[in-house]
Chains A and B, each alone.
Chain A
């Protein structure tokens, strides 16, 4: 990377995330000065306008892509209308060891005097909790599920290619056309649509104004600038900010700047869950790149520099921090903006192009946690593409993750999308799929699947609180067969899924009525055509996901009961319940039996894997196809982010030998340490699940660096990925084992029983080695890193 990029990157890495009260103040000012008769879409549009006209305009030294959410890199705005931080929250954020945010005394003062008094008890979060039923609250407090919308607005949205072809003035033309088409005679919603469309018009102008303010700022800086090179750059930036977003971008630089303004717009309007993403950047920018290379107006190096400056912009935006219990947990700065590479073109052809490889170079050199990146692998893509990516993966920073593009198309088509919309879609945020630029696909919350078994085994009572929160099914000691237990579990699961969906359907309406997002709406088809908000079913497709967590834990727990209690009769149900109640205290031997003498998921063992398939079906049938309030449907996916830690903390000991409060398994990965037959067996097990019926699954695989040290190892990993995808696996992420992992394995051998050290044709379980050899391998791994 050149000096400019190096400096900007360094600055981004060194800048300390801090809370900026600027947005909160502007929003509060607006709401306090504009009460009364005004439709909500218009109110929200005017809030947006107020922000865009007044928030600080910042251009850093030597920046090529401009624009920040706050006053400087790492300024993190707050969204009190969604969820208002308390002073105590700020204390936690300011002082916690992991992922801290600096909160200045000024910010605290503004909050104390102005923001908190205005929003306390009046935010969306308060509204939501007021509307939820007691049974919902009990389940929520028990840790059965989480609710994404209590602290963030629905979001999770990815853009398609529309902004590279049309400017905001073009969008205004479309909106005006929709206004003209309103039929007040026959359409009872015509007036409501008018409000929404008018709000969109206000938002279009607001973003153009925002860019013009940047233009003026660049010009002002140019005047003062003594270095002729920088002066010319600033003048150029000024011109760019006049052209975009008002008009379609004319070149590569303008295209990136345009996206960035849109990104700031979406993430300033509301705190959308999981940021906002540009999607298939390599596809979108390719026409500009090739044309300019040919015309000689852009070199490869210049394109790379612009991309790198663009990358740094993402890294400058920490994810807005949470409140309450969630703030106390470590969380992450990652706002889950994901950039997709490769995959398929609109016409179904191989989507890997020259720019794909250039962007991979950028990812490797930048090595930033944001934006995260993924490769979408189709059978049509060349192996070379995967190999290049694996070389980045082996450097061990967890990027890019690897997705099955062909399967994603199948998943989306199954959900009712057109094949073209499906190809232009992909994965976003974590692993979930959507039709980019055309869908509101909304993660509504995680669902703690193993907790359902715990409640089943306690006949409706949560043993943690002794509160009865579930159904009374059968006294667990009286189950005569595994089927009886399984049916009780199924009933219990359906009961809680119903509670979750009832809650969701209320929350969706609250957002539709009180927190419309006209700016985001104008970017997503067909909100303009329908005159409807993104939160109100305006999008072409509307999907609500409920993310199942703990597949490995529930599978192994159920399998343990089936195998030991009913098949082998090696332990009675009474004994098992007693063990769980006592957290295996004084009976480590039985725990070892459950851990080691049970068929377990992740070993290509049909006994365990068929239990997994049955559990999958129960979860799928409970959710898939049910109607949401936006004209769309509920779907499932299986991903945890980091919630498997929280969910584990609310569950006692489980029949798979897991001790109380330990983390659950994550995604569709086996329980930590349960897979003992290497990666192919894990993939075989995971592929027995019908991924096509999900909207995304997450599979993590640990890999020791020895397996990836040479070309041969890389080639074989490419084959491993290809095979998993041929078996219709959705996603796989490789975590290259580093010294920290090995140290953890040394300390907690049980969780790392699967960790195999290979030296040429010798291999052994790491945890079985003597301490001296373990230390030697740890030090050797350290040398091999990168």
Chain B
């Protein structure tokens, strides 16, 4: 039976496609974007997250750790990441839920059960399910199975993707995907490589193909200060989009540094420590650039 690593299932998602939706977050992503606000979605393997604010200092975790990787340092409970094998033993005794294993292996049936529980809400609102991440295409076999299962139940499906996958993977799921939420970050390839770790060649090629095949799409653009919020960069994106067909609308996702906390909890380093949240004025200014080009724009602002 196919399984996937899922790191969250969020109900009442209202910005990931039409209607009231459930968003399923797949763990693992081929890109490492500097601004990523879901860093727990990057690695394909399970990770340990520690929320210090919840910790009641019962030190049960210290006692059960098989690797002796958890140390008490004054008031602090510290985990030696090098030693930790992410076995999850400590999370089982952590009743305060301060320690949590991020990423759960789930079967299609298990995920479907979660999705189906909100069926009346989808029906009423014209909503459905959105597969996001991380990158759902990275676990494509599972994705295909669950998309098929959803279609059998008459549930509207959306796939939120960075587009970095072999075309046949995308081609396989096309017929079972009612809507693609497709990310564009940068058109300049060397900058793309620099800030995301991969070339955008495949991404843009796939996007063109999808558009030609007649799949419904919403283009999502994260607006990152100092990286792609200048007119020139955005114009390059606009020029690219203008040549595409079947684009319903554009979602602008303004950068927000709120994700910074998650890095700390995951013992990871944030690559954009100094970036500032965009002002309302700046956002509407940027939005206008798109609107003037005749694009339908939704700003998913705060």
CB nearest to A727 among chain B residues: B120
CB nearest to B97 among chain A residues: A596
Q: A720 contacts B117, CB within 8 Å? A: no
Q: B53 contacts A768, CB within 8 Å? A: yes
Q: Is the CB of B11 closer than 8 A to any CB of chain A?
A: yes
User: In the complex, A727 Cα to B120 Cα: how many Å?
Assistant: 8
Given contacts A589-B95, A597-B95, A760-B253, are A678 and B51 in contact (CB under 8 A)? no
Stretch at the interface among A122-130, A218-226, A362-370, A705-713: A705-713
Q: Is the CB of A102 closer than 8 A to any CB of chain B?
A: no
Interface residue from A592, A684, A715, A780 paired with B56 (Cβ < 8 Å): A592
Given contacts A768-B53, A768-B261, are A706 and B121 in contact (CB under 8 A)? no
Q: Is the CB of A743 closer than 8 A to any CB of chain B?
A: no
Min C-beta distance of B260 to chain A, whole Å: 7
Interface residue from B14, B264, B302 paired with A759 (Cβ < 8 Å): B302
Min C-beta distance of A704 to chain B, whole Å: 10
Stretch at the interface among B15-23, B70-78, B204-212, B284-292: B15-23
Min C-beta distance of A564 to chain B, whole Å: 11
User: In the complex, A593 Cα to B96 Cα: how many Å?
Assistant: 7
Min C-beta distance of B113 to chain A, whole Å: 11
Q: Is the CB of B240 closer than 8 A to any CB of chain A?
A: no
Q: Which residues of B contact A709 (CB under 8 A)?
A: 301-302
Interface residue from A589, A760, A763 paired with B254 (Cβ < 8 Å): A760
Q: Which residues of B contact A593 (CB under 8 A)?
A: 95
- Per-residue A-contact encoding for B242-257, CB less than 8 Å = 1, 0 else: 0000000000011010
CB nearest to A589 among chain B residues: B58
User: In the complex, A715 Cα to B124 Cα: how many Å?
Assistant: 11
User: In the complex, A757 Cα to B15 Cα: how many Å?
Assistant: 14
Give chain A interface residues in 713-751, CB to chain B under 8 Å. 713, 715-716, 719-720, 722-723, 726-727, 749
Q: A680 contacts B51, CB within 8 Å? A: no
User: In the complex, A590 Cα to B15 Cα: how many Å?
Assistant: 38
Given contacts A712-B15, A719-B20, are A678 and B97 in contact (CB under 8 A)? no
Given contacts A716-B19, A720-B20, A726-B124, are A762 and B14 in contact (CB under 8 A)? no
CB nearest to B96 among chain A residues: A592
Q: A592 contacts B258, CB within 8 Å? A: no
Q: Which residues of A contact B11 (CB under 8 A)?
A: 677-681
User: In the complex, A590 Cα to B121 Cα: how many Å?
Assistant: 36
Of the four ranges (under 10, 10 to 19, 20 to 34, 35 or more), the interface on chain A belongs to 35 or more
Give chain A interface residues in 740-782, CB to chain B under 8 Å. 749, 757-764, 767-770, 773, 777, 780
Q: Is the CB of A150 closer than 8 A to any CB of chain B?
A: no
Q: Is the CB of B66 closer than 8 A to any CB of chain A?
A: no
Given contacts A589-B95, A678-B11, are A712 and B56 in contact (CB under 8 A)? no
User: In the complex, A243 Cα to B3 Cα: how many Å?
Assistant: 78
Number of interface residues of B (CB under 8 A): 45
Interface residue from B12, B160, B256, B262 paired with A678 (Cβ < 8 Å): B12
Q: Is the CB of A604 closer than 8 A to any CB of chain B?
A: yes
Q: Is the CB of A354 closer than 8 A to any CB of chain B?
A: no
User: In the complex, A593 Cα to B94 Cα: how many Å?
Assistant: 8
Q: Is the interface of B mostly helix, strand, loop or mixed?
A: mixed
Q: For chains A and B in complex, what number of residue pairs have CB atoms within 8 angstroms?
A: 118
Q: Which residues of A contact B60 (CB under 8 A)?
A: 589
Given contacts A707-B14, A762-B37, A762-B38, are A719 and B125 in contact (CB under 8 A)? yes
Q: Is the CB of B118 closer than 8 A to any CB of chain A?
A: yes
Q: Which residues of B contact A722 (CB under 8 A)?
A: 124-125
Q: Is the CB of A578 closer than 8 A to any CB of chain B?
A: no
Q: A716 contacts B20, CB within 8 Å? A: yes
Q: A780 contacts B302, CB within 8 Å? A: yes
CB nearest to B16 among chain A residues: A761
User: In the complex, A545 Cα to B132 Cα: how many Å?
Assistant: 49
Q: Which residues of B contact A769 (CB under 8 A)?
A: 258, 261
Min C-beta distance of A357 to chain B, whole Å: 23
User: In the complex, A595 Cα to B94 Cα: how many Å?
Assistant: 12
Q: Which residues of B contact A716 (CB under 8 A)?
A: 12, 14, 19-20, 125
Q: Is the CB of A588 closer than 8 A to any CB of chain B?
A: yes
- Per-residue A-contact encoding for B22-54, CB less than 8 Å = 1, 0 else: 010000000000000110000000000001011
Q: Is the interface of A mostly helix, strand, loop or mixed?
A: helix
Q: Which residues of A contact B300 (CB under 8 A)?
A: 760-761
User: In the complex, A597 Cα to B97 Cα: how many Å?
Assistant: 9
Min C-beta distance of B265 to chain A, whole Å: 8
User: In the complex, A680 Cα to B120 Cα: how many Å?
Assistant: 10
Q: Is the CB of B259 closer than 8 A to any CB of chain A?
A: yes
Q: Which residues of B contact A749 (CB under 8 A)?
A: 53-54
Q: A680 contacts B12, CB within 8 Å? A: yes
Interface residue from A678, A684, A723, A768 paired with B124 (Cβ < 8 Å): A723
CB nearest to B57 among chain A residues: A588
Q: A768 contacts B54, CB within 8 Å? A: yes
Q: Which residues of A contact B58 (CB under 8 A)?
A: 588-589, 592
User: In the complex, A761 Cα to B256 Cα: how many Å?
Assistant: 11
Given contacts A589-B60, A760-B301, are A720 and B12 in contact (CB under 8 A)? yes
Q: A719 contacts B15, CB within 8 Å? A: no
- Per-residue A-contact encoding for B149-179, CB less than 8 Å = 1, 0 else: 0000000000010000000000000000000
User: In the complex, A716 Cα to B19 Cα: how many Å?
Assistant: 6
CB nearest to B160 among chain A residues: A761
Q: B258 contacts A757, CB within 8 Å? A: yes
Q: Which residues of B contact A720 (CB under 8 A)?
A: 12, 20, 121, 125
Q: Which residues of B contact A588 (CB under 8 A)?
A: 56, 58
Interface residue from B123, B124, B258 paired with A762 (Cβ < 8 Å): B258
User: In the complex, A763 Cα to B20 Cα: how many Å?
Assistant: 16
CB nearest to B124 among chain A residues: A723
Q: Which residues of A contact B120 (CB under 8 A)?
A: 723, 726-727
Known A726-B124, A762-B38; 7 more pairs at CB < 8 Å: A592-B97, A596-B95, A681-B11, A712-B298, A722-B125, A759-B256, A767-B53
Query: What are the 3 tightest A-B residue pairs by CB atom distance, in nearest-first order?
Result: A719-B125, A592-B95, A760-B300
Chain B residues close to A by CB (< 8 Å): 10-16, 19-20, 23, 37-38, 51, 53-54, 56, 58, 60, 95-97, 117-118, 120-121, 123-125, 127, 132, 160, 253-254, 256, 258-262, 264-265, 298, 300-302
Chain A residues close to B by CB (< 8 Å): 588-590, 592-593, 595-597, 604, 677-681, 684, 706-707, 709, 712-713, 715-716, 719-720, 722-723, 726-727, 749, 757-764, 767-770, 773, 777, 780, 784
